[in-house]
Amino acid sequence: MNLTTPQLKRLKIVLFLLALIPFGHMLSGLLMEKLGANPLEYLTRYSGDWALYFLVLTLAVTPLRKLLQQPWLLRFRRMLGLYTFFYAALHFLMFFWFDHFFDLLEMWADVLKRPFIAVGLIAFCALVPLAISSHNGVIRRMGGKAWQRLHQLIYVIAPLAVLHYYWMKAGKHDLVRPYLFAGLVAALLLYRVVVKWRDRA
């Protein structure tokens, strides 16, 4: 299936709006006080969940493009990646603001005390250069090879994000979804490794 440029533009707009629905839910729930007994905890967990959902969707683009032989799917990877960063940034902001009221020393103490927070913070910090380098102008200045090397950070970010999620859920003995995400991320990353190894062979 080949999509025309106007069709791709319309599909991009639809995807852009759909990806904003979780943010709209957060905002409306907060304003209308419909987020339960602890809305701040809900917002923190909800934004983190959606960061992970979009991370998996971003990783899935390349395998789907190759398996389905639909090159136009690649046109949506950047948007999905930026939404991954957007929801991860909201997740971090909720933690930094609501949990620590922008107190760096208190946050740092919490990071040192709780490994799952440290892992999540490392994953978020690694996402920052990927988001910054998503602009075409930055890609041109960096050069294609340097840009590709930088974006190999995803092989570190994805496992760290899953580990962060696993440790958070392990405390509540809720491991079904962490195992599901671990399986998905492992399969998607393994596919990339196998394809690269096959192409070099």
3-state class of 15 per DSSP?
helix
pLDDT on residue 201: 59
Q: Please give the full DSSP string across 74-118, using - where no structure is assigned.
A: GGGHHHHHHHHHHHHHHHHHHIIIIITTT-HHHHHHHHHH-HHHH
Tens digit of each residue's pLDDT (9 = 90 or more) over 16-72: 999 999 999 999 998 888 887 788 889 999 999 999 999 999 999 999 998 888 889
Cβ neighbours of residue 177 closer than 8 Å, sequence gap 6 or more: 165, 169
Q: What is the pTM of this model?
A: 0.91
Residue-wise pLDDT tens digits, 144-169: 889 989 999 999 999 999 999 999 88
Residue 99 structural domain: 5-200
Torsion angle of the four alpha carbons 100, 111, 93, 120, in this order, in degrees rounded to the nearest 10: -160
CB 128 within 8 A of CB 92: no
> What percentage of the chain carries pLDDT values higher than 90?
54
> Taking all residues of the chain, what is their mean pLDDT, rounded to a whole number?
90
Measured CA to CA, the distance from residue 164 to residue 184 in angstroms comes to 15
Total domains in the chain come to: 1
